Structure 1
Amino acid sequence: MTHQYSLTGLPTQITPVEIQQDKHQPTLAPTRPNPTQPEPIPAALKAARRKYQYNYSHIAPVAMVDRLPKEELPSRAWWSKLIRTMFKILSNAIVGAHNHHHEHEAEQHASRLIRKTLVDILRQRPEVRWRLIWHLLKTAPTTLLNGLRLSFSDAESLLHSLAAHLEHDLLRILHLNLKEHLAHECGQDRPTSIADFNQQFATIPLPECAEYFQEDEFFAYLRVAGPNPVLLQQVRHLSGDILCSHFPVTNQHYQTVMGEDDSLQIAITEGRLYIADYAILAGAINGNYPDQQKYISAPIALFAVPSADAPCRNLQPIAIQCRQSPGPETPILTPPTDQNPDQKQAWDMAKTCVQVADSNYHEAVTHLGRTHLFISPFVIATHRQLLPSHPVSVLLRPHFEGTLSINNGAQSMLMAPEGGVDTVLAATIDCARVLAVKGVQSYSFNQAMLPQQLRQLGLDNAEALPIHPYRDDALLIWQAIETWVTDYVSLYYPTDDSVQTDAALQAWAQELQAEEGGRVPDFGEDGQLRTQAYLIQALTLIIFTASAQHAAVNFPQGDIMVYTPGMPLAGYQPAPNSTAMSSQDRLNQLPSLHQALNQLELTYLLGQIYHTQLGQYEKSWFSDQRVQAPLHRFQANLLDIETAIAERNRHRPYPYRYLQPSNIPQSINI
């Protein structure tokens, strides 16, 4: 007979047949009769440990999976969404490149491109050649007999059917062919005006931010509602008239923007002064792939909230210094006024320097490092140490779907030399990898709990900083997940002792921290799981990061970062070295039209695929009937949050939709 733990912690007998019929029924290992004897390793865990092995060289020295197990390959539903999105990108690129007025002409070009992709696969990949031919014989014999000539709609259907068979080969070769096509059609034309970038949105809708991306208010709003909403920090100290040794902002700078009734000291005392410091980028090496010199700096930007009696209390930009060290060629720039209207171009260039820094920090640190790479060890350790029937495994696995697969694609394609990141980001690919590693290694697990993180940054005070959409919406999601996890954990771990005596759970915690395991910084309570309260917080952070946090930092790519003038991923002219810059200098700072298309393509692909939804688990995933009531409460809470955020967006300067529960996938799968 096999044992299962009941709510009281006493083992109750169930038959092996019952286990097979109820594969997601959570079970805990019973107390061993002889604790001095080693626990025999179940066959299922032995098999999992052979499949899920650590690799520390993909993005060294971060823990990733060595080889992707076939169980981790994307589902057909995911591939369908990916292919559909790629077709949108393909159509947009071809219509824009050829300036077609008739859709069928663009479809002809797209069909030829897809035919070339299939031919390339047949030529380049002999190991899949016969699989592809066999699949075509079964599903599209006429297409094969016609030499792979096919209509646009047939091509889309064919790629959908091939996706599960060819996986990353299809994506990689289609992507390369599209890049080659765009390079031939678009060349390296420099923009003559911002309108040139707008014309690249031929069939993909022009983002809303194209209307107001140059406004100072929107620039400041992105610090609290953009792709990187947890870099801003409250300024808590002031020494004389110097903000800090390497950013000598004066009261005159401040009052130029905020008026003479306010001051730096008053703003600091009231908690209304904030800074965005990109010092981590100071050692970044400027890249030049594919064929142009790129630039990135390490700017510092100062922001303030108007006083409590002001009619509008939106965050305002005060000053920008484009490098870490002040000097004659690194002026402190402030927004233009009636007294200094000639500074507009220099100010706009300074804002672009911040946007370039923010986007590079976002992609390497906030996005890749602190969501994708952060979650990866938890996926591996869960498979290696917890049986599928273990209650923690049952809770977590839906939040791990697709993560190892997308991370494998990231390290082998996106983060590879001459890959997508190397193409569009400002720094070299080696530098981007180092930044990602720094991001995850410096991210203490125990300090990453959202409420604590907001307190540490000084972003938790809604009176001092009333408009912070990420903070306000993220806390709602955090609290809903925390309540759900509390209800769930309480069913299986009613006491601290029940946590401490679960040998599998303790082994999971130890592997996560181990140098030969997950290498997760600062996990556990003195290296162990000692309390129910800590287990709840840990699981809340894992689920929140895999769902809401990734949504908050991933999906702004699809409607903010996709618009190159508003947030270029690289600068193409050095930071402004004076207050007298021309409109041509400003334009020269932006990418070529071809590079802008590369950015549009990459960010739209990453920012437009929504697969699964937070709280919507597979039917009958939780076979333990005790879970149903807490699950329904969780789903009801998410519906209430959806309504609350929609109401908040009616009163915000700009809508913030990334943390609406309907826009949050269960896992990191793109």
Structure 2
Amino acid sequence: MTNSLTSATTNSNLESAREQYKYNYSYIPPIAMVDELPDGEDFSRQWLLLLAKELKVIFVNILITNRGNRGSQKIRDDVRNFILEVILKGAIPANISVIARFMQIVPQLLIRGFSTDFHELDDLLFSLIKESGLLILSDSFQRITKLLDKGKPTGHVSSLADYQKLFPVIPPPKIAKTFQNDAEFAYMRVAGYNPVMIQRVSELDERFPVTDAQYQAVMGSDDSLALAGQEGRLYLADYGIFNGGLNGSCPSYQKYLYAPLALFAVPPGSNPNRLLQPVAIQCGQNPKENPIITPKSSEYAWLIAKAIVQIADANFHEPITHLARTHLLAGIFAIATHRQLPNSHPLYVLLTPHFEGTLAINDAAQRALIAPLGGVDILLSSTIDNSRVLTVLGLQSYGFNHAMLPKQFQQRGVDDANLLPVYPYRDDGLLLWDAIHQWVADYIQIYYHTDQEIQADAYIQAWAKEVQAYDGGRLTEFGEDGKIQTREYLIDAVTLIIFTASVQHAAVNFPQKDVMGYTPAVPLAGYLPASILQGEVTEKDYLNFLPPLDQAQQQYNLLALLGSVYYNRLGEYPPQHFADPKVEPLLRSFQKNLQEIETIIQKRNSDRPPYEYLLPSKIPQSINI
């Protein structure tokens, strides 16, 4: 009788969950997303306060940038007039107490600067966010931003120094001093915001006819293309996916998308610290229309060619590497886990902390960020429809079983540290993959001793079926012949889910502020066609190619916010989350492994250009921003 009652309760709870966690395939057709945000899936107060802290800094920076620091009384008057305008035009809720506090606190903050931490403003912005919905991603914030447009810097720059106008309060990202260096450009391929593109090649095909003379002019006469290919030292970044892509024009600027090919090489020798070097760039797939540009070309031709690679890299990163292959992938498992696994199921207990905030941030993104006239539409190179198609292609082409981290490196030929000695994303990522894999294996082995027990678990099999189903998650290449047949596969699959929700997202999300936020370093769009490289290129051409100041300000505002919120931490589950006492020593072992990895990475960073995005202390437990 007890078992029957328990089973009936479980089935009832699952039916309730299925009513709340319904699929929607029309937000980004045909990707599976949650239809409406279920109860309990909204952002926590702690998360909103963290967002408010970052919003405060960006908000004040915008105010001073656009309205000028013209004396305390003038600032006070400007701010009060601005707040009244915001209220009258309905950009924030007309809550009298909130308005009064806002008008009192913000001018003080502007006048006194950031020497005092204004916790009152944090609470105030939290109130506004809570009342407006997710303010920074909502119509309210867009209206506020438009009101702040008065006096904002606009148009193309006359020198790179003009971009400094955007940072009257916040210091520019450190990359502002180094982004034009070839070493920095190459290092981004292995330790940047999108460190997943390069692949080892033995030779180049007819699309990219780099000559030996061009290669040797960069790498030295003792080396050659053929020798580098034979020794496994040639690496290609190919952005052919953008060939034929549609150029955008939102909000009013004509923007351009490019499909470059970029060649890199590791110098010969046995030095373990040999860094990747850029050799040549072709800014389109057709060599008849696109000259090969090298570091020996003219200064501004080379700067534009590198910028074109950065643009392509960023346009691959945002819709594919970031949105599709972390946010939307994790979202599929979040929905299926709630719909098919009882709350007491060991897999549910293990996975759900890694989904905290994911459905909420995905829902906010589809409503505003990747909507027409949203941040993606305004800032990226192509049309919003083209970007959304890229998102779909990015997820549908990401076969789950081939997405295991070690397999990814093998497929791209970048797994051998002897051939590619310095690849921080690979080396640090594998440490974390192994630690998560060990933790998952230890955990699952408590509850499943044989493959037969996995096969007999109806909940796990229903979960696996739904993840793949046309009326479910629609995920390609998951499971073993549509099911989960072995304990080994379940361990690998759960490892990839947790790794994606924590480590992989950290690797591609947090460089948005430090690297992508500075527009000259990583333009999100080009503003001249690649054909400009067919003739002589001037400094003015380069500056007109880069985003105008108003676009650059929006780029920093958005990416700085997305790359600033660190909420929860890998390995730190809620207190008493695991009721089973057998889990506690295993969790302590996992946490100890993470501490040791932190020490290893810190040591590595003393021997290489620092790469800190995969320090365990900087990796959230879930995708929540």
Whether TM-score is above 0.5 comes out as yes
Q: Does 1:180 align with 2:180?
A: no
Q: Does 1:488 align with 2:457?
A: no
C-alpha contact (below 8 Å) 1:333/1:579 kept by paired residues: no
Kindly report which structure 2 residues correspond to 1:332-347, keeping only aligned pairs within 5 A, or say none: 332-336=292-296, 343-347=298-302
CA distance in 1 between partners of 2:399 and 2:189 (Å): 22
Amino acid at match of 1:471: R
TM-score, with structure 1 as normaliser? 0.88
Partner of 2:114: none
Amino acid at match of 2:16: A
Shift of 1:159: 2.5
Partner of 2:240: 279
Instruction: For residues 601-625 of structure 1, give each alpha carbon's deviation from its aligned partner in whole angstroms, at most 9, with x where no partner exists.
Output: 1110111111111001111111111
Q: Does 1:378 align with 2:329?
A: no
C-alpha contact (below 8 Å) 2:102/2:121 kept by paired residues: no
Question: Which of residues 614, 618, 624 is equivalent to 2:580?
Answer: 624
Kindly report which structure 2 residues correspond to 1:345-360, keeping only aligned pairs within 5 A, or say none: 345-360=300-315
Q: Does 1:252 align with 2:233?
A: no
CA distance in 2 between partners of 1:113 and 1:56 (Å): 40
Which secondary structure does the structure 2 equivalent of 1:577 belong to?
A: helix
When residues 299 and 258 of structure 1 are mapped into structure 2, their CA distance, relative to the original with a 3 A threshold, is same
Question: Which of residues 290, 296, 301 is equivalent to 1:330?
Answer: 290
Instruction: For residues 24-71 of structure 1, give each alpha carbon's deviation from its aligned partner in whole angstroms, at most 9, with x where no partner exists.
Output: xxxxx7xxxxxxxxx996111111000000010100000000111121
Shift of 1:505: 0.6
Which secondary structure does the structure 2 equivalent of 1:184 belong to?
A: coil
Kindly report which structure 2 residues correspond to 1:192-271, keeping only aligned pairs within 5 A, or say none: 192-236=158-202, 238=203, 243-271=204-232
CA distance in 2 between partners of 1:120 and 1:172 (Å): 15
Q: Does 1:639 align with 2:608?
A: no
C-alpha contact (below 8 Å) 2:566/2:618 kept by paired residues: yes
C-alpha contact (below 8 Å) 2:236/2:262 kept by paired residues: yes
Q: Does 1:292 align with 2:253?
A: yes
When residues 307 and 2 of structure 1 are mapped into structure 2, their CA distance, relative to the original with a 3 A threshold, is farther
Instruction: For residues 329-388 of structure 1, give each alpha carbon's deviation from its aligned partner in whole angstroms, at most 9, with x where no partner exists.
Output: 41001112xxx5xx1110110000001100111001100111111111100000000011
TM-score, with structure 2 as normaliser? 0.94
CA distance in 2 between partners of 1:660 and 1:110 (Å): 40
Kindly report which structure 2 residues correspond to 1:445-594, keeping only aligned pairs within 5 A, or say none: 445-575=400-530, 576-578=532-534, 580-594=536-550
Shift of 1:493: 1.0
> Number of matched residues?
612
Partner of 1:190: 156
Shift of 1:198: 2.1
C-alpha contact (below 8 Å) 1:115/1:148 kept by paired residues: no
Partner of 1:20: none
When residues 661 and 95 of structure 1 are mapped into structure 2, their CA distance, relative to the original with a 3 A threshold, is same
When residues 168 and 268 of structure 1 are mapped into structure 2, their CA distance, relative to the original with a 3 A threshold, is same
Q: Does 1:651 align with 2:586?
A: no
Partner of 2:115: none
Moved more, 260-269 or 469-478: 260-269
Moved more, 383-392 or 180-189: 180-189
Amino acid at match of 1:434: V
Amino acid at match of 1:301: A
When residues 110 and 63 of structure 1 are mapped into structure 2, their CA distance, relative to the original with a 3 A threshold, is farther
C-alpha contact (below 8 Å) 1:573/1:588 kept by paired residues: yes
Instruction: For residues 460-507 of structure 1, give each alpha carbon's deviation from its aligned partner in whole angstroms, at most 9, with x where no partner exists.
Output: 010110000100110011011000000000001111011000001100
Amino acid at match of 1:382: T
Shift of 1:147: 10
CA distance in 2 between partners of 1:629 and 1:311 (Å): 37
Amino acid at match of 1:615: G
Shift of 1:260: 1.3
Instruction: For residues 439-458 of structure 1, give each alpha carbon's deviation from its aligned partner in whole angstroms, at most 9, with x where no partner exists.
Output: 00000000000001100001
Partner of 1:26: none
When residues 616 and 118 of structure 1 are mapped into structure 2, their CA distance, relative to the original with a 3 A threshold, is farther
Which secondary structure does the structure 2 equivalent of 1:629 belong to?
A: helix
C-alpha contact (below 8 Å) 1:227/1:552 kept by paired residues: yes
CA distance in 2 between partners of 1:267 and 1:181 (Å): 56
CA distance in 2 between partners of 1:322 and 1:176 (Å): 34
Specify the structure having the higher radius of gyration (Cα): 1
When residues 445 and 628 of structure 1 are mapped into structure 2, their CA distance, relative to the original with a 3 A threshold, is same
Amino acid at match of 1:93: I
Moved more, 532-541 or 307-316: 307-316
When residues 626 and 504 of structure 1 are mapped into structure 2, their CA distance, relative to the original with a 3 A threshold, is same
Amino acid at match of 1:662: S
CA distance in 2 between partners of 1:246 and 1:588 (Å): 28
Which secondary structure does the structure 1 equivalent of 2:572 belong to?
A: coil
Which secondary structure does the structure 1 equivalent of 2:565 belong to?
A: coil
C-alpha contact (below 8 Å) 1:286/1:295 kept by paired residues: yes
Shift of 1:150: 3.5
Shift of 1:565: 0.2
Amino acid at match of 2:291: P
When residues 199 and 218 of structure 1 are mapped into structure 2, their CA distance, relative to the original with a 3 A threshold, is same
CA distance in 2 between partners of 1:114 and 1:626 (Å): 56
When residues 568 and 107 of structure 1 are mapped into structure 2, their CA distance, relative to the original with a 3 A threshold, is farther
Amino acid at match of 2:255: K
Partner of 1:317: 278
Partner of 1:610: 566
Partner of 1:58: 27
Instruction: For residues 637-666 of structure 1, give each alpha carbon's deviation from its aligned partner in whole angstroms, at most 9, with x where no partner exists.
Output: 1111111111111111x2111100111000
Shift of 1:577: 2.7
Shift of 1:118: 4.9
Shift of 1:107: 6.5
Kindly report which structure 2 residues correspond to 1:93-242, keeping only aligned pairs within 5 A, or say none: 93-100=62-69, 106=75, 109-110=78-79, 113-114=82-83, 116-121=85-90, 133=95, 140=97, 149-152=103-106, 156-168=122-134, 171-186=137-152, 188-236=154-202, 238=203
CA distance in 1 between partners of 2:188 and 2:479 (Å): 34
CA distance in 2 between partners of 1:601 and 1:96 (Å): 12
Q: Does 1:663 align with 2:624?
A: no
When residues 323 and 42 of structure 1 are mapped into structure 2, their CA distance, relative to the original with a 3 A threshold, is same
Which secondary structure does the structure 1 equivalent of 2:166 belong to?
A: coil
Amino acid at match of 1:630: L
Which secondary structure does the structure 2 equivalent of 1:42 belong to?
A: helix
C-alpha contact (below 8 Å) 1:247/1:326 kept by paired residues: yes
When residues 70 and 207 of structure 1 are mapped into structure 2, their CA distance, relative to the original with a 3 A threshold, is same
RMSD: 2.2
**Percent identity, aligned pairs only?**
49
Which secondary structure does the structure 2 equivalent of 1:303 belong to?
A: strand
Amino acid at match of 2:559: T
CA distance in 2 between partners of 1:419 and 1:89 (Å): 18
Which secondary structure does the structure 1 equivalent of 2:236 belong to?
A: strand
Shift of 1:205: 2.0
CA distance in 1 between partners of 2:157 and 2:412 (Å): 39
Moved more, 398-407 or 308-317: 308-317
Which secondary structure does the structure 2 equivalent of 1:223 belong to?
A: helix
CA distance in 2 between partners of 1:258 and 1:278 (Å): 23
CA distance in 2 between partners of 1:181 and 1:423 (Å): 17
CA distance in 1 between partners of 2:566 and 2:136 (Å): 20
Partner of 2:56: 87
